[in-house]
Amino acid sequence: MDELYLPNYAALRRVSGTPSRRGEKVYAAPVLISCRIDASVKVIKKTNGETAVTSAVVYTNAEITEGDLLNDLDVLEVSKLQSVFGEEEGYKAVI
């Protein structure tokens, strides 16, 4: 994805290692990533069948996984983006 289309920045905190003694997720230090944030509130059905309220869709070149935090919000879903030529182009994250 061309950096021209990524005018925003977000703080990405990746899940790191095993859960704490109390079972809480442990996150790495935040990293600033370039992205495009499309703010919109929607109700979605997650892959496990639960419903969730989202606040934005974030497009970026940075690798993101479900469970990470973007601007201290849980990443609920992630999908890889492909170019018209079938090449991996980036990520779409729902928060």
Question: How confident is the model at residue 46, as a pLDDT?
Answer: 78
Q: 10 Å Cβ neighbour count for 34?
A: 15
Question: What SS3 state is found at 23?
Answer: coil
Question: How is the chain split into domains, by residue range?
Answer: 3-94
Question: What is the C-alpha to C-alpha distance for residues 6 and 27, in angstroms, rounded to an integer?
Answer: 24
57-70 pLDDT, tens digit per residue, is 999 999 999 999 99
The model's pTM is 0.86
Interval 18-39 mean pLDDT = 90
Average confidence score pLDDT of the chain: 90
Question: What SS3 state is found at 21?
Answer: coil
Question: What SS3 state is found at 3?
Answer: helix
pLDDT over 90 (residue 49): no
Parallel, antiparallel or unpaired: strands 69-70 and 31-45: unpaired
Question: How confident is the model at residue 93, as a pLDDT?
Answer: 95
DSSP 13-68: E-B-SS--TTS---BPPPEEEEEEEEEEEEEEE-TTS-EEEEEEEEEESS---TT-
Interval 34-55 mean pLDDT = 89
